[in-house]
Amino acid sequence: MKKIIIGVIVVILAVVIGYQAALMKVVKSENNTEEGGMSHTMDGMTAELAGLSGDKLDKAFLELMIVHHEGAIVMAEQVLAETKRPELQEMAKTIIAAQQREIEMMGSWLDAWFKSDDTNMGDGMAHTEEHIHD
């Protein structure tokens, strides 16, 4: 139980930190460029993969994609709660279901391929994801 609670805290912190960083990039890009903030957020995630290869690249990619998908779920939940448009409600429901499935899939791959890395706290995100959905 303690491991699950720690894992949940790690996931929450990762999401909050990721959103804070993304928000800062969006605000900075809106103030300083004509380009949208989302491309800068994606640039930041892509930059984190630069120079990595092999297992390090695979693992980092999966961990970043989980955070990215969690962000999509939060956005879709917000739209679902606020919009009156049935098309957007349906789209949000579809996004939530698809992203949750993919998070579970990526989490299971992390467990299968990188389980021996459990001692690394940064890996807690992936290992707790399946527990969150239980």
Domain boundaries, the chain: 2-127
Spatial separation of the C-alpha atoms in residues 4 and 44, rounded to whole Å: 29
Token duo for residue 89: 């409600």
pLDDT, tens only, 101-133: 999 999 999 999 998 765 444 444 444 444 344
> What was the pLDDT predicted at 16?
57
State residue 7's pLDDT score.
58
In this prediction, residue 129 carries a pLDDT of 43
CA distance 22 to 85: 27
Under DSSP, is residue 34 helix (H, G, I), strand (E, B) or coil? coil
User: What residue ranges in 9-93 does DSSP mark as E strands?
Assistant: none
Class of domain 2-127: mainly alpha
Residue 95's CB: how many other CB atoms inside 10 A? 18
Residue 54 above 90 pLDDT?
Answer: yes
